[in-house]
């Protein structure tokens, strides 16, 4: 057991008398190093640290180093989001959101982390492993002065056995040096230990990390479940043990159990035990009912359980047909996907777990059924959210590369994620323009595909190719052809290669700014309608009509579901994030949201845009768009009909309306059912409104909540163009961890000093993210804006 002095909170997952998974997110110290000045980098490049094991004198690696003046931080931690914006002409700085991280900024591109902890002597016979879920990037780890390892990747996690270096009679010190001077992508990537860290303890005979693989085959009413359990012996002598597994339903009831199987292991040997169980009338994992079973693999010696591993899994069938499309459990499903990077307003890349569920929930409400992890290994909690909520995942490798480093990254990705039922397809890379049409690219792809089949024979792969009707290279060997744009070449490619399934791995890329209706090259805004796309991309209606109306399209993934930091297409400074999202960086819908929702759901959708506050345009024409899935629409201005129009499928309707204040109303009929929607001219804002996503939080120190801010006029009408500055005050055991507003050109701070949290609204909205403490009770959040009636909301914690 751990003594109370060990500053570890969040949560601990204990497996009987066997494995423990203890969260190490609290109690870290942080300080910038320096990529060009050794003295400011704690002598890292001038002191000799690799000549003798455990020797690191005069550096921050030394256990005696005093870090009392360093900043206290809790993980996940992204130091980049806290830095100011800088106007740089460098393309990479621009594409990463104008944050001073990278080789041009040596003073803010190296980060040092240190953590002190104690262990109880009663655990000295256990094995210990430290697990980092994600560090950006090139992280070097030491424990008690001993070099532990290096993780080159900024996305795929890595674990290290640290048993030999631990102290049980004095303090232990973990040190991590993070080097973000080099980029991996061309988008905001953050910097630091931005995912969870765990301390895993287990027996010398144990199931290693990702050593449990479960997969199934459905045969009518019976489902055969195969459980592959890898067991490792780290004793100094050969050892025997017994392995068995059982399955529980979602309520925890045991429904099947294997026989016990004895195995003998030599020193350091790993052996895989393959066992099978049958489930009759299994509940299938689906988008509507994402049913999860649990498998538990157990290792015994004598009558004692010495190790356990648990994994959720789902039972489902996948079929990709080159002519008929994609089938989940025998049901035809058109892939209605979105691409997404991993950052969110106010937080950068360091998201609390709750945010993963919040974002997937928003995408589900849109009507999306699939998520591409562009262009890297996702955080494990994202996949857990997709498993639980019913969202398919296209899981992507960072690079099309078959070197030992990238093969290892691919293996770690697959072994980590292959039990997730949401993962329906792997991607071996994205837009590798140097090699994708070449024999070299083809050979690399074949190597990666062979590795995928070795590790996960239950799935197949695609590759995101920005190529038209071209076959040479990767496309010759990839099982499912991926199209990044080039949507008008899909039909020709299918004609020439009719037996190869195909999917739109990146489609759309309309650029819009929420609530803006005229191009503004000074503030770097584009109109909030489906009218503007880069030369290499397409508008929503251009691609979706083709995908929706042709069965041989499996479907596609829009670029992107959410706006993200960096890639400020089609502008540069002062624009610091993208315009590609169906929603902005906060998750507030843009008008294109209602186009996709109209055709991606069976819900009744009737949406009018723009808003109706145009005091400078009285008597002038306004371009009015209606997005709906109704059969016809009639538009009225202040009660006067402006005409009725039939609604073409997978399209929208437009009217040119001479502006006058009042009410613009749409009346539609859908299979005889009347639908109505309206936009109204409002007065000035008089009151702030707070809308929390939930009113009950868990008092565990890591749960979070989103509170959205809006404004109403004296008649209670929401004001769509309010831009007031809002100040936030929180009381109770909780803290504010970020603010945002969706403005792609806002340079306001995402992180504020405690007691001085604020954010201006952008076109009627802003957002605040809070995190719970550990005390049960009430949290009160107040929002104040000059001259307006304040708002408050109370959130209970349990």
Cβ-count burial of 463 within 10 angstroms (0-12 exposed, 13-18 middle, 19+ buried)? buried
Cβ-count burial of 643 within 10 angstroms (0-12 exposed, 13-18 middle, 19+ buried)? exposed
Separation of alpha carbons 427 and 413, rounded Å: 11
Cβ-count burial of 112 within 10 angstroms (0-12 exposed, 13-18 middle, 19+ buried)? buried
Residues 6+ apart with CB under 8 A from 640: none
Among the listed residues 506, 541, 567, 665, the single catalytic one is 506
Half-sphere exposure of 192 (CA within 13 A, CB side): 31
SS3 at position 149:
strand
Report DSSP letters for 335-376, one per residue: EEEEEE-S-BTTTBT---HHHHHHHHHHHHHHT--EEEETTS
Token reading at 713: 């006029």
SS3 at position 155:
coil
To the query of whether residue 506 is one of the catalytic residues in this protein, the response is: yes
To the query of whether residue 549 is one of the catalytic residues in this protein, the response is: no
Q: Compute how many other C-beta atoms are within 10 angstroms of the C-beta atom of residue 94.
A: 20
For residues 335, 336, 342, 345, the Cα torsion angle rounded to the nearest 10 degrees is -170
Q: Which residues pair with 81 in a beta bridge?
A: none
CB 437 within 8 A of CB 401: no
CB 9 within 8 A of CB 701: yes
Half-sphere exposure of 31 (CA within 13 A, CB side): 18
Among the listed residues 129, 384, 431, 567, the single catalytic one is 431
Strand extents, DSSP E, 281-343: 293-301, 304-313, 318-321, 325-328, 331-333, 335-340
CB 728 within 8 A of CB 758: yes
Q: Which residues are catalytic?
A: 431, 506
């Amino acid at each position: 057991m751990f003594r109370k002095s060990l500053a570890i909170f969040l949560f601990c997952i204990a497996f009987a008398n066997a494995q423990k998974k203890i969260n190490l997110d609290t109690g870290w110290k942080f300080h910038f190093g320096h990529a060009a000045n050794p003295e400011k980098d704690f002598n890292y490049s001038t002191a000799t640290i690799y000549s003798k094991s455990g020797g690191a004198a005069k550096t921050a690696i030394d256990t005696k180093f005093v870090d009392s003046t360093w900043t206290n931080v809790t993980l996940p931690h992204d130091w980049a989001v806290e830095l100011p914006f800088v106007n740089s002409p460098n393309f990479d700085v621009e594409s990463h959101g104008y944050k001073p991280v990278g080789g041009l900024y040596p003073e803010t591109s190296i980060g040092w982390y240190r953590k002190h902890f104690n262990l109880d002597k009663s655990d000295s016979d256990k094995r210990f492993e430290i697990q980092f879920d994600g560090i950006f990037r090139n992280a070097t780890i030491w424990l008690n002065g001993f070099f532990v390892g290096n993780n080159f990747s900024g996305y795929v996690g890595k674990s290290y056995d640290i048993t030999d270096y631990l102290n049980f009679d004095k303090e232990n010190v973990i040190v991590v040096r993070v080097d973000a001077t080099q980029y991996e992508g061309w988008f905001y990537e953050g910097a630091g230990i931005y995912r969870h860290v765990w301390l895993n303890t287990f027996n010398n005979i144990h199931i290693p990390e990702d050593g449990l693989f479960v997969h199934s085959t459905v045969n009518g009413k019976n489902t055969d479940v195969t459980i592959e359990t890898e067991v490792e012996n780290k004793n100094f002598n050969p050892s025997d043990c017994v392995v068995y597994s059982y399955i529980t339903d979602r309520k925890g009831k045991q429904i099947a159990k294997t026989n016990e199987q004895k195995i003998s292991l030599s020193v350091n040997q790993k052996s895989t035990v393959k066992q099978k169980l049958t489930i009759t009338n299994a509940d299938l994992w689906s988008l509507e009912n994402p049913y999860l079973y649990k498998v538990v693999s157990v290792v015994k010696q004598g009558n004692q359980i010495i190790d356990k591993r648990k994994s959720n899994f789902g039972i489902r069938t996948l079929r990709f047909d080159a002519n008929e499309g994609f089938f989940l459990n025998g049901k035809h499903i058109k892939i209605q996907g979105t691409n997404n990077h991993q950052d969110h307003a106010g937080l950068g890349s360091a998201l609390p777990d709750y945010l993963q569920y919040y974002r997937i929930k928003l995408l589900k409400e849109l009507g999306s059924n699939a998520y591409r992890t562009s262009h890297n290994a996702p955080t494990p909690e994202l996949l857990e959210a997709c498993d639980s909520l019913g969202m398919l995942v296209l899981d992507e490798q960072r690079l099309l590369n078959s070197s030992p480093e990238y093969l290892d990254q691919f293996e770690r990705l697959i072994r980590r994620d292959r039990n997730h039922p949401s993962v329906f397809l792997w991607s071996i890379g994205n837009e590798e323009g140097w090699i994708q049409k070449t024999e070299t690219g083809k050979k690399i792809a074949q190597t990666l595909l062979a590795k995928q089949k070795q590790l996960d024979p239950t799935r197949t792969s695609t590759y995101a190719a920005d190529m038209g009707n071209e076959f040479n290279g990767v496309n010759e060997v990839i099982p499912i052809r991926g199209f990044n744009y080039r949507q008008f070449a899909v039909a020709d490619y299918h004609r020439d290669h009719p037996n190869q399934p195909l999917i739109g791995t990146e489609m759309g890329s309309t650029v819009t700014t929420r609530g803006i209706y005229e191009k503004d090259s000074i503030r770097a805004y584009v109109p909030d309608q489906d009218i503007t796309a880069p030369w290499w991309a397409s508008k929503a209606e251009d691609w979706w009509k083709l995908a929706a109306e042709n069965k041989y399209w499996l479907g596609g993934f829009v670029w992107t579901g959410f706006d993200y930091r960096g890639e400020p297409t089609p502008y540069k400074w002062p624009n610091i994030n993208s315009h590609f999202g169906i929603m902005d960086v906060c998750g507030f819908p843009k008008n294109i949201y209602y186009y996709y929702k109209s055709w991606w759901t069976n819900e009744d959708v009737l949406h009018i845009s723009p808003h109706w506050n145009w005091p400078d345009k009285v008597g002038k024409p306004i371009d009015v768009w209606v997005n709906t899935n109704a059969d016809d629409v009639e538009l009225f201005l202040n009660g006067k009909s402006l005409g009725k129009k039939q609604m073409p499928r997978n399209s929208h309707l437009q009217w040119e309306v001479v502006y006058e204040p009042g009410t613009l109303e749409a009346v539609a009929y859908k299979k005889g059912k009347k639908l109505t929607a309206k936009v109204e001219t409002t007065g000035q804002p008089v009151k702030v409104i707070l809308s929390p996503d939930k009113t009950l939080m868990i008092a565990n120190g890591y749960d979070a909540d989103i509170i959205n801010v809006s404004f109403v006029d004296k008649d209670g009408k929401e004001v769509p163009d309010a831009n007031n500055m809002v100040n936030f005050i929180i009381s109770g055991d909780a803290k504010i961890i970020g603010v945002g507003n969706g403005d792609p050109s806002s340079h306001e701070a995402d992180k504020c000093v405690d007691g001085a949290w604020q954010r201006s609204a952008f076109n009627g909205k802003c957002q605040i993210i809070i995190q719970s403490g550990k005390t049960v009770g009430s949290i009160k959040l107040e929002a104040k804006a000059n001259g307006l009636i304040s708002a408050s909301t109370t959130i209970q914690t349990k």
